[in-house]
Structure 1
């Protein structure tokens, strides 16, 4: 009942929410990939007079834009949306240089923005990506449930970087190491095994790739990442069929 009440106030543009309440609503909206709720949270946060004085609120807003840019916005709007994610994450870091979640979001936004740049420009962005992601990994506390999840995200992002970026050189061993570190932290997050599957496809290890994709198909969803899981299942099924 309280959650329904909070969502109703969001629809009315209420500005009364504490950080913990908005954070909870964001996690639910992300788990469901609910575009309407993400937009409501964005609108609420951007209308707050205290936004630019709060690293925590700026971080949630940046995270909203990162998620919205990933799955909620039309293709032609993705780059602009990810730029907003980076802007708000960097503003959060200016207020609190020890904000590990904001470092992850800044790095992830840069990594996704690189897809829209030319090869040369995207390589120049690699230094900023590494800086933010490595800082996130060092700062995030794996003994805190939500910070552990973001540390997992950062390890996955770094693993994908060593798997997919040709400069300085591909490092498949490093990629595997980072992805297994992520799996050790959050073993019930299916996207880790999806990315390991892609790694083994790339290294021509068909049997291991099939094992990873099969694992995704057999897993239950992480309770905070339900829609992401079902998206991973769909992709894993397609990739598994290719390997038959």
Structure 2
């Protein structure tokens, strides 16, 4: 499954879960959660579904399966904004995994705890947990996750404006990445280079790396946004518009981000009325997305 996440997700999505018995549904949730863990564009099952899954594995599964289901339940809580519950679950998983000498699961748990700390704006704690994750992945001999942890350490340092340290870790990740033959990890490294160079004001290098990411990408939407933001920052507004025109507007989250960029562009062009129209659309979508998120938790 990890080698073909898109094909695996298409297969899972084609299954009518209403027709599955309890065991099959639990296994379906575990597979979907595993995909969510490995690729960013697949959402984790809901808290309710993961609780149902965990309960089934407690009765019918192994200790290892229960541990994994618990880990995915933490992911579900994090995805739905329940950070404290997610952190408590991750802490329990960490303790159990440590007793079992499951270095890989400890590494994953540290990575997700680091993400939660970053979301709560605790950069030092986030950096510390990401570095810990890298240590555990090395012990587990999981080279791919180790490279990803080094890339994430780069991102943590960049957030803290320690750009020279960020670049040092990124270059180490890049060097090790060459031995992986993993296109997804390679794209993420290229994207990180683009972000670092943009933050350093080296815009031509940033543009080069963002285009390399785009040319290697199966999902170009984030790359179009990255280039749009770069062009807005460098006042190349026509180029920014060209990037935004490439983004499909079917998904409300895409429209939300596009209107935000178009608002910034109109402001820079001195088109006040146009800017106001984009701002209204942006705020309306922001409200609707917030309402939809709230309803999903009821």
TM-score range for the pair, normalised by the shorter chain length: 0.5 to 0.7
Q: Does 1:106 align with 2:150?
A: yes
Aligned partners of 1:160 and 1:175 also within 8 Å: yes
Q: Does 1:56 align with 2:78?
A: no
The equivalent of 1:145 in structure 2 is none
TM-score, normalisation: structure 1: 0.67
Structure 1 unaligned regions, length at least 5: 143-147, 221-228
Counterparts of residues 7-156 of structure 1 (less than 5 Å) = 7-8=54-55, 16-17=64-65, 35=83, 38-39=86-87, 42-50=90-98, 53-71=101-119, 73=120, 75=121, 77-96=122-141, 99-116=143-160, 122-135=162-175, 137-142=177-182, 148-156=183-191
Partner secondary structure for residue 96 of structure 2: coil
Deviation at 1:194, TM superposition (A): 1.4
Deviation at 1:129, TM superposition (A): 2.3
Worse-superposed segment, 153-162 or 61-70: 61-70
Partner secondary structure for residue 235 of structure 2: coil
Q: What is the alpha-carbon distance in structure 1 between the residues aligned to residue 78 and residue 185 of structure 2?
A: 13
Aligned partners of 2:224 and 2:246 also within 8 Å: yes
The equivalent of 1:225 in structure 2 is none
Residues 190, 18 of structure 1: alpha-carbon distance in 2 compared, 3 angstrom cutoff: farther
The equivalent of 2:271 in structure 1 is none
Deviation at 1:164, TM superposition (A): 1.6
Deviation at 1:36, TM superposition (A): 6.1
Choose the corresponding residue for 1:158, options 172, 183, 193: 193
Residues 181, 66 of structure 1: alpha-carbon distance in 2 compared, 3 angstrom cutoff: farther
- C-alpha RMSD over aligned residues: 3.8
Aligned partners of 1:197 and 1:210 also within 8 Å: yes
User: Considering only CA atoms, is the larger Rg found in Structure 1 or Structure 2?
Assistant: 2
Aligned partners of 1:19 and 1:57 also within 8 Å: no
Residues 158, 235 of structure 1: alpha-carbon distance in 2 compared, 3 angstrom cutoff: same
Q: Does 1:175 align with 2:219?
A: no
Q: What is the alpha-carbon distance in structure 1 between the residues aligned to residue 211 and residue 57 of structure 2?
A: 39
Aligned partners of 1:108 and 1:157 also within 8 Å: no
Deviation at 1:160, TM superposition (A): 0.9
Aligned partners of 1:217 and 1:236 also within 8 Å: no
Q: What is the alpha-carbon distance in structure 2 between the residues aligned to residue 240 and residue 70 of structure 1?
A: 28
Aligned partners of 1:10 and 1:40 also within 8 Å: no
Aligned partners of 2:224 and 2:243 also within 8 Å: yes
Number of positions where the alignment pairs a residue of Structure 1 with one of Structure 2? 216
Worse-superposed segment, 156-165 or 178-187: 178-187
